[in-house]
A and B are shown apart, each in its own frame.
Chain A
């Protein structure tokens, strides 16, 4: 253990790397939510319902593609840097959210929707005031899965020049400096776990009493 190197990693390299990492995760997750929640909503409307199953299967299949492969494929197509990284992360993050949005909206009790219809609510109002709130815990669970996943794949971004905490790990592995490895890997783990816990808490708060999942 070299104390100077440890300090260098923690105080000089880590803050910027962590900031880049958080930024990249935030942008990717927000973009993924903006794309996949509306997609999930559209696919559960009666008009497009029959495509829902197909899209779900395609998404399931894409989900099995490892993160390293997607990051690697982004490079030849989009070049090096933060932009291709974010595109790769968005592609990775899309799937759990879209899948959970579709599953959550399918899972809303048909009786509840019928009751809302009977009360004279138009389709739009049913969606915003009945379906989405009831599906929200499941959608949030998808966002949580996606966020943790994006943090994880984000560490691989260093290999295509995306920066972030992967940079520290990369330096550590190349120079065989365990201090850099510990700082980079530790912060990555802490970031992922903290995000997971925070979103789990939000999920717990947002679940209406009487329909807590599981």
Chain B
């Protein structure tokens, strides 16, 4: 089996690419969380802003990933490499994260909030102790989508100079090395499915029984 031999022969290289891949994904997801969760919470206070921000997020999400990477490269401050990749990935994460945080916080039962207010809780305590905990399942669903999506799109960042698992595909295509292409593609597919399954199991664990939600489309 050539495919297996290719992996055996190139374990150090593949490990290096995997490491680079996950460090990019990790940073992108961390920055996205820090940036977009507060935005999602903030826009629950104004319908007008919610519509605007979600509209922008939807529009960005439509842009083909290769296009967004390509546009980032032309911005002088970003250029080729990790900075462009990070900005593009964080922009993509806006849609699932902001939308899910917004929806999660928004759908918290009004009477629960009223009860909290009646007990004398102020806005921040209601947010921290009532709204965010109750929104956790929806927010986690958004987090899961973000992680899986970012892992997939990160592979495309290889074309703007990231040395990650996408490199196996891009180099395989230029060298016409079928083993390299197939192994790279299968590896990326496998990682995406594994991550999704793991996060799905985690989602079931952390969500209280009465609060199970369906994953949005």
* Segment 37-93 of A: residues with Cβ below 8 Å from B: 61, 64-70, 72-73, 75-76
| Known contacts A66-B189, A76-B182, A193-B59; A188 and B217 CB within 8 A of each other | no
With both beta carbons as reference points, the residue of chain A lying nearest to B75 in the complex is identified as A178
Q: How many residues of B contact A (CB 8 A)?
A: 41
Residue interface mask A162-203, B partner, CB < 8 A = 1: 000110010011000010011011101100110010000000
Point out the residue from A76, A142, A155, A160 that lies within 8 Å of B64, measured CB to CB: A155
Q: Confirm or deny: B112 has a beta carbon within 8 angstroms of a beta carbon on chain A.
A: no
Chain B residues engaging chain A, CB cutoff 8 angstroms: 58-59, 61-68, 70-71, 73-74, 148, 151-153, 155-156, 159-160, 166, 169-170, 172-173, 178, 181-182, 184-186, 188-189, 192-193, 195-197, 217
Is the CB–CB distance between A189 and B155 below 8 Å?
no
Is the CB–CB distance between A66 and B74 below 8 Å?
no
Is the CB–CB distance between B188 and A69 below 8 Å?
yes
Q: Confirm or deny: A154 has a beta carbon within 8 angstroms of a beta carbon on chain B.
A: yes
Q: With a CB–CB cut-off of 8 A, which chain A residues contact B59?
A: 193, 196
**Besides A65-B188, A152-B67, 12 other A-B contacts (C-beta < 8 A):** A65-B193, A66-B151, A72-B181, A73-B182, A73-B185, A73-B189, A76-B178, A99-B217, A166-B66, A185-B68, A188-B67, A189-B62
Q: How far is the CA of A155 from the CA of B156 in the complex (A)?
A: 11
Q: How far is the CA of A169 from the CA of B71 in the complex (A)?
A: 9
Is the CB–CB distance between B159 and A69 below 8 Å?
no
Q: With a CB–CB cut-off of 8 A, which chain B residues contact A75?
A: 173, 181
Point out the residue from B58, B67, B172 that lies within 8 Å of A155, measured CB to CB: B67
Of B63, B66, B181, chain A has the most CB atoms within 10 Å of the CB of B66
Q: How far is the CA of A67 from the CA of B61 in the complex (A)?
A: 15
Q: How far is the CA of A185 from the CA of B188 in the complex (A)?
A: 24
Is the CB–CB distance between A185 and B155 below 8 Å?
no
